[in-house]
Amino acid sequence: MRLLVTGLKGQVVSALMERAADDPALTVLTLGRPELDLAAPGDLSVAFRRLEPDAVVSAAAYTAVDAAETEQDLAFRINRDGAGAVAAAAAALGVPVVHLSTDYVFDGTKATPYVETDPVGPTSVYGRSKQMGEEAVAAAAPDHAILRTAWVYAAEGKNFLRTMLRLAATRPEIAVVADQQGTPTYAPDIADAVVGVTRNLLAEPKNPALRGVFHMSGAGETTWAGFAEAIFRESAARGGPSAAVRPITTADYPTPARRPANSRLDCSRLRGMHGITMPTWTDALARCMDRLQQQGTLTS
């Protein structure tokens, strides 16, 4: 299977490239800046056709949640218009598109995990731009799966886990919000799920049950403070940096963007339709920390 993936260095595109290196049946072709700039995409079908993909994975996005509040125009161009252009090019080639979206499309006021049919109501520019991206993808390409994931991290890249380990190197205590609930998702697990979903789409080109929106986050749930505590527990167990976590409220940690208090995603539809069960976030965290230790990059 030949997958055309947007982006070059992102967490998900990197995990897909690594997955392809281990899997002779999978080839990942990446397309990113400067050849593909989602801020000014134009018609992408010529560039896409040259790579002869079986499917397109739309993994590139503007992901700087706070910066988006002041770079609204850029966030919308990339996450709405860019995503729509990628989906339109996939449709022009007659191949399915698997598009990544986010828990931040919800307002977080629901008391239980979100299902796909719950109304969206983003509270941030990033969330709104991603919600409009979902709409643009669905309008441009009937043959699509939109996978909403959450709290993505990996051993490399810009993410909360790496931020915590960096801060712990110089601080004995870190204040972290304890009133935002959700589930961390490990990029290599996203790569596995994306490959599984894409194979299913190609195997059953006409099956509507495999298409539409799916929630795809790690199993279980925690808070950002709970995630930080687990990171430091796993790090300390491997001789890495750790710090005490002081639980605080969202009001104690003012940020430009408002984040949902409840980011939990119910992933039953992905399991029921695609037969894919995401690993628990605690298991995934242990695998990520093992990797950091093996790389020798977990130094205190």
Ligand X SMILES: Cc1cn([C@H]2C[C@H](O)[C@@H](COP(=O)(O)OP(=O)(O)O[C@H]3O[C@@H](C)C(=O)[C@@H](O)[C@H]3O)O2)c(=O)[nH]c1=O
User: Catalytic residue numbers?
Assistant: 126
DSSP 57: E
Q: Which of 28, 38, 168, 174 binds ligand X (CB under 6 A)?
A: 174
Q: Cβ of residue 279: shortest distance to Mg ion, in angstroms?
A: 22
What does the alpha-carbon distance between residue 287 and residue 85 come to, in Å, rounded to a whole number?
A: 36
Binding partner of 241, given ligand NDP, ligand X, Mg ion, none, CB within 5-8 angstroms per partner class? none
Q: Apex CA 123: angle with CA 118 and CA 127, to 5°?
A: 75
**Cβ pair 15, 187 in contact under 8 A:** yes
**Local structure of 69: helix, strand or coil:** helix
Contacts to ligand NDP from residues 54-113, by CB under 6 A: 59-63, 78, 100, 102
Instruction: Lay out the site mask for ligand NDP across 15-34 (x = CB under 6 A, - = otherwise).
Output: -----------------xx-
Which element (helix H / strand E) includes 213?
strand 212-215
Minimal distance, residue 275 CB to ligand X, in Å: 24
Residue from the set 1, 27, 29, 39 that interacts with ligand NDP by CB under 6 A: 39
- Long-range contacts of residues 220-223, Cβ cutoff 8 Å, at least 24 apart: 220/183, 220/280, 220/281, 220/282, 221/113, 221/181, 221/182, 221/183, 221/264, 221/281, 222/181, 222/182, 222/183, 222/184, 222/281, 223/177, 223/178, 223/179, 223/180, 223/181, 223/182, 223/247
- Minimum Å gap between C-beta 175 and ligand X is 6
- Spatial contact of 244 and 229, defined as CB atoms under 8 Å apart: no
User: Which of 26/137 has CB closer to ligand NDP?
Assistant: 137
20 binds, among ligand X, Mg ion, ligand NDP, none (CB under 5 to 8 A by kind): Mg ion
Quick check: 12 binds ligand NDP (CB under 6 A)?
yes
Report 35-64 residues binding ligand X (CB under 6 A). 63
Q: Does 16 bind Mg ion (CB under 5 A)?
A: no
Amino acid at position 43, single letter = D
DSSP for residue 120: P
Q: How far is the CB of 167 from ligand X (least distance, A)?
A: 6
Please count the CA atoms within 13 angstroms of the CA of 52 that sit on its side-chain side.
Answer: 2
| Binders of ligand X in range 67-96 (CB under 6 A) | none
Site pattern 8..37 for ligand X (x: CB under 6 A) = ------------------------------
Pick the closer one to ligand NDP by CB: 10 or 240.
Answer: 10
Closest alpha carbon to 89 in 135, 38, 129: 38
3-state secondary structure (DSSP) of residue 265: strand
Using CB under 5 A as the criterion, which residues of the chain lie in contact with Mg ion when the complex forms?
A: 20, 26
Using CB under 6 A as the criterion, which residues of the chain lie in contact with ligand X when the complex forms?
A: 63, 65, 102-104, 150-152, 160, 163, 174-177, 180, 224, 253, 255, 259
Using CB under 6 A as the criterion, which residues of the chain lie in contact with ligand NDP when the complex forms?
A: 7-13, 32-33, 36-39, 59-63, 78, 100, 102, 130, 149-152, 157-158
